[in-house]
Amino acid sequence: MGPMDVAAPGRSRARTADEAHGPVVKRHNAVVRATHWLTALAMLVLVMSGLAIFNAAPYLDASDQNNPARRVLAIESDTSGATPVGTLTIFGHTIKTTGLLGYTDDGTGQPAERAFPGWITFPAEQDLAGARRWHFFFGWTLLIVGLIYFISGIIRKDLALIVLRPSDIPKMWPMQAYYLKLRKEPPPHGKYNPLQKAGYTGLLFILVPFLILTGAALSPGIDAFAGPLTALLGGRQFARLWHFAAMLALIAFTFGHVGLVISTGFFNNMRSMLLGTYRPSKYEGPGP
């Protein structure tokens, strides 16, 4: 579950090239690289299979049970007219989403009443039992890979480098100012800058555990002996809502992560996670 490193985020290609001026160094060991890509694969399948599962009940309620009066989100279709219409309703506000959501590709290239299209779900065709099997398999994969990453990080003392420290907090605004081009240089930092640490700390210690817990609350096998967990989350429908919201947060994090990888030296960052070698900027150090 090793997150991909991002160099100090200079925006222009020229500036990034000037800053990444140091010698090539060893950045990530084989365990970090392998767990990073396995985590990426697991999360991709989890999101796609999760959307396929959602298609079976395409709504979210802020309630302990199915309650249309407390519906937060619904993806529906209306085929009563001459032209079918797909809609997305959020907090009572409805927009037409025909072709994208509600009435869209059924996985075989044909339009149908379906919340999410086949090109973004796994399996592509509606198969609730199959989607659940894939979801649970890669859920356990994510958990096992994460444990391997944590144990390896503790043994090699790499995990401590990614955790946000009190000394990093005063550097967060200067780092953000550098992102926004309000500052010419970022504050000196170690292997990870303070905003990277904040993001990865939230991901590893809050978001992913919360995804696992809410997913466990939705699993009939686990719910059978972990009823208090489901009750703590507000019931199964509330657990679905929290799980879906956490998935959206994960997707947002991923887009931000990939964006920074591209904008701060794509080849340098990719080399660090494929081959383990990296050319650091003059602002980076090997420590915390």
Are the C-beta atoms of 46 and 138 separated by less than 8 Å? yes
Per-residue pLDDT reduced to its tens digit, 155-189: 998 899 999 999 999 999 999 898 888 988 888 88
For the segment 24-50, the average pLDDT, to the nearest whole number, is: 95
6, pLDDT greater than 80: no
Side chain identity at residue 7, one-letter code: A
Lowest mean pLDDT of 18-22, 82-86, 177-181, 274-278, name the range.
18-22
Sorted by where each begins, the domain ranges of the chain are 13-55+125-278, 59-120
Percentage of residues in the chain having pLDDT higher than 90: 68
How large is the average pLDDT for residues 9-37?
Answer: 70
Q: Give residue 13's pLDDT.
A: 42
**Residue 274 and residue 256: Cα distance in Å, rounded?**
20
What average pLDDT does range 200-210 have in this prediction? 94
**Three-class secondary structure of residue 96 per DSSP:** strand
Query: Domain 13-55+125-278, what fold?
Result: Fumarate Reductase Cytochrome B subunit (1.20.950)
Please tell me the distance from the alpha carbon of residue 88 to that of residue 58, in angstroms, as a whole number: 10
- Output the CA–CA distances (angstroms, integers) from residue 55 to 130, 134, 249, 276, in the order listed: 13, 15, 20, 40
The rounded distance, in Å, linking the Cα atoms of 252 and 81 is 36
Q: Please say whether the beta carbons of 70 and 190 come within 8 A.
A: no
Identify the pLDDT of residue 99. Answer: 94
pLDDT at 142: 95
CA dist 80 and 87 (Å) reads 14
Residue 10, pLDDT > 50, answer no
Can you tell me the mean pLDDT for 56-82? 94
Taking each helix axis from N to C end, the angle separating 30-54 and 236-263, rounded to the nearest 10 degrees, works out to 130
- Confidence (pLDDT) at 136: 93
Residue 22's pLDDT is 67
Quickly state the pLDDT bin for 4 (edges 50, 70, 90): very low
Are the beta carbons of 255 and 8 closer than 8 angstroms? no
Confidence band of 229 (pLDDT split at 50, 70, 90): confident
As a whole number of Å, the CA-based R_g of the chain is: 22
pLDDT over threshold 70, residue 2: no
Q: Would you tell me how many other CB atoms lie within 10 Å of the CB of residue 266? A: 13
Please tell me the distance from the alpha carbon of residue 4 to that of residue 27, in angstroms, as a whole number: 10
The pLDDT tens digits for 88-113 are 999 999 999 999 999 999 999 999 99
Confidence (pLDDT) at 190 = 87
pLDDT tens track for 246-288: 999 999 999 989 988 887 789 999 999 999 999 988 888 777 7
Sorting pLDDT into bands at 50, 70 and 90, what band is 5? very low
Tokens found for residue 267: 């080849």
Q: Are 280 and 20 in contact (CB under 8 A)?
A: yes
* The predicted structure's pLDDT at residue 14: 40
Which range among 66-75, 222-231, 232-241, 268-277 shows the weakest confidence by mean pLDDT?
222-231
pLDDT band at 17 (very low <50, low <70, confident <90, very high): very low
Q: Please give the order of strands across the beta sheet that includes 59-61.
A: 59-61, 71-78, 85-90, 93-96
Q: Whose structure tokens read 């696992």? A: 212
- Tell me what pLDDT residue 170 has: 93
- CB neighbours of residue 231 within 10 Å: 14
Instruction: Tell me the average pLDDT across 122-128.
Output: 94
d(CA 99, CA 77): 11
